């Protein structure tokens, strides 16, 4: 799902991959952005590793005796044709996902809050008004945290769970620092809790859980006379030419979701570049390119058959985790599909397309 201008970013990458003889494809919604934009700033972060807790302490942009180890580098261009182009590079393998999450929480503090206000606050309030939905999420999160870690899938899930913890800790640390300094930027701001920040990544899965326990949703599904095409999201394009293969993605949504990022996570398992949003670990559009030379996109399949809700159970892995597990670990398209299908949550159902 989501915003129309993703097609421009997709076309940018498709054009960059094309043969030199072919002209670069342009789209007037992102003026002059016909190649990956150059970063305008670079900042290194440091910390002290706590081996007992497997986490980082004293995370700071200054290298000191209490923050001696380089842990994350952030390269950024916050105004790349209206997009925030940002890259997080893990510099130390210990608790690297927590470190990246923490730094992202601080670096994109304002954007994360705007994401929550613009498209998560209402959904979270509705969710918290439904005890059954809250109980589902609690059971689901505990099941994921108790997941085996002996397999590559389970080990990667455990790492990715830490990125949300890092996002929360980093964002809250920045909020608390501003509050203590009487910074007017947080005067009317809600201090986001773990669930609020988690919802930004889980944004397209929560509606399925709400639907599972909402009689209103079930009644609407039952009464709907025909499939409502205009209410759905996403178009994907794949085009084979004599010398190349192009792919693009167009995501349909409203202006309030235009907090756009071209985000890259450069981790020790690999690198993933995607269209995305502040505070979201996955694209949610979706549009990805990986260092293992995979191009990944999807279009969403909504469902209106109430009997399918019984297959949505908490003992499963969230879609946003499965898609990123596949992005980081998959060596080819079939491997990607195997990883993504494992322990399917039944939430945010999509037709995923992967190109080698």
For the stretch 146-177, pLDDT in tens is: 999 999 999 999 999 999 999 999 999 999 99
CA-CA distances (angstroms) from residue 344 to 92, 150, 199, 225, 272? 31, 19, 19, 29, 21
Which residues, other chains included, contact 99 with Cβ-Cβ below 8 Å and sequence gap of 6+? 45, 47, 56, 59, 71, 72, 90, 92, 166
Confidence of residue 229 (pLDDT cuts 50, 70, 90): low
Q: What pLDDT does 14 receive?
A: 42
More confident of the two residues 241 and 219: 241
Q: What pLDDT does 1 receive?
A: 44
pLDDT above 50: residue 22: no
Confidence of residue 38 (pLDDT cuts 50, 70, 90): confident
Q: What pLDDT does 82 receive?
A: 81
Q: What pLDDT does 8 receive?
A: 39
For the stretch 47-67, pLDDT in tens is: 999 999 999 999 999 999 999
Average pLDDT of the residues in 285-301:
91
Question: Which range in 80-89, 241-250, 340-349 is most confidently predicted, on average pLDDT?
Answer: 340-349
Average pLDDT of the residues in 315-339:
97
Q: What pLDDT does 224 receive?
A: 61
pLDDT above 80: residue 10: no
CA dist., res. 188 & res. 344, Å (int): 39
Q: What pLDDT does 199 receive?
A: 94
Mean pLDDT, the chain, rounded, equals 87
pLDDT above 60: residue 4: no
Which of 105, 262, 121 lies closest to 178 in space, CA to CA? 105
Average pLDDT of the residues in 110-131:
92
pTM confidence score: 0.89
Q: What pLDDT does 33 receive?
A: 56
Q: What pLDDT does 210 receive?
A: 92
| DSSP E strand boundaries for the chain | 41-50, 55-60, 69-80, 83-90, 235-240, 245-250, 261-267, 270-276, 287-290, 295-300, 350-355
Q: What pLDDT does 32 receive?
A: 52
Q: What pLDDT does 247 receive?
A: 82
Average pLDDT of the residues in 20-41:
56
All structural domains of the chain, each given as residue ranges with its CATH number in brackets, are 6-355 (3.60.60.30)
Average pLDDT of the residues in 298-317:
89
pLDDT above 90: residue 335: yes
Average pLDDT of the residues in 93-108:
98
Confidence of residue 233 (pLDDT cuts 50, 70, 90): low
Residue 336 is encoded by which pair of tokens? 């990607």
Please, what is the Cα angle at 2 between 272 and 133, to 5 degrees? 95
The share of the chain scoring above pLDDT 90, in percent, equals 66
Q: What pLDDT does 218 receive?
A: 65
Average pLDDT of the residues in 69-93:
94
What's the Rg (C-alpha) of the chain? 20
More confident of the two residues 82 and 43: 43
Q: What pLDDT does 226 receive?
A: 59
Instruction: Dump the DSSP string for 184-221.
Output: GGGTT-----HHHHHHHHSTTTHHHHHHHH-HHHHHHH
Q: What pLDDT does 69 receive?
A: 98
pLDDT above 90: residue 195: yes
Q: Which of the 8 DSSP states describes residue 317?
A: B
């Amino acid at each position: 799902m989501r915003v129309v201008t993703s097609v421009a970013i997709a076309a940018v990458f498709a054009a960059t991959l094309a043969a030199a003889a072919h002209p670069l494809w342009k789209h007037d919604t992102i003026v002059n952005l016909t190649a990956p934009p150059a970063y305008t700033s670079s900042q290194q972060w440091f910390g002290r590793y706590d081996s007992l807790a497997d986490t980082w302490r004293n995370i700071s942009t200054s290298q000191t005796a209490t923050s001696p180890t380089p842990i994350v580098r952030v390269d950024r261009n916050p105004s790349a044709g209206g997009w925030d182009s940002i890259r997080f590079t893990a510099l130390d393998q210990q608790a690297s996902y927590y470190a990246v999450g923490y730094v992202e929480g601080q670096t994109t503090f304002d954007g994360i809050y705007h994401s929550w206000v613009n498209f998560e606050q209402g959904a979270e309030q509705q969710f918290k008004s439904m005890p059954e939905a809250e109980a589902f999420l609690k059971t689901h999160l505990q099941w994921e945290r108790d997941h085996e870690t002996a397999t590559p899938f389970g080990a990667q899930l455990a790492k990715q769970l830490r990125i949300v913890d890092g996002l929360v800790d980093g964002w809250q640390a920045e909020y608390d620092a501003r509050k203590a300094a009487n910074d007017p930027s947080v005067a009317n701001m809600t201090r986001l809790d773990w669930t609020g920040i988690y919802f930004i990544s889980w944004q397209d899965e929560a509606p399925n859980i709400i639907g599972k326990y909402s009689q209103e949703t079930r009644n609407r599904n039952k009464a709907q006379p025909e499939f409502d095409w205009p209410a759905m999201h996403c178009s994907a394009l794949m085009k084979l030419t004599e010398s190349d293969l192009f792919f693009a993605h167009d995501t349909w949504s409203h202006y309030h979701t235009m907090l756009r990022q071209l985000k890259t996570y450069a981790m020790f398992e690999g690198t993933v570049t995607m269209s995305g949003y502040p505070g979201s670990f996955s694209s949610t559009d979706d549009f990805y390119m990986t260092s293992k030379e995979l191009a990944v996109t999807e279009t969403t399949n909504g469902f209106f058959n109430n009997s399918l809700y019984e297959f949505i159970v908490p003992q499963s892995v969230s879609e946003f985790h499965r898609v990123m597990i596949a992005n980081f670990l998959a060596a080819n398209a079939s491997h990607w599909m195997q990883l993504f299908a494992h322990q399917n949550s039944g939430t945010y159902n999509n037709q995923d397309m992967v190109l080698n």
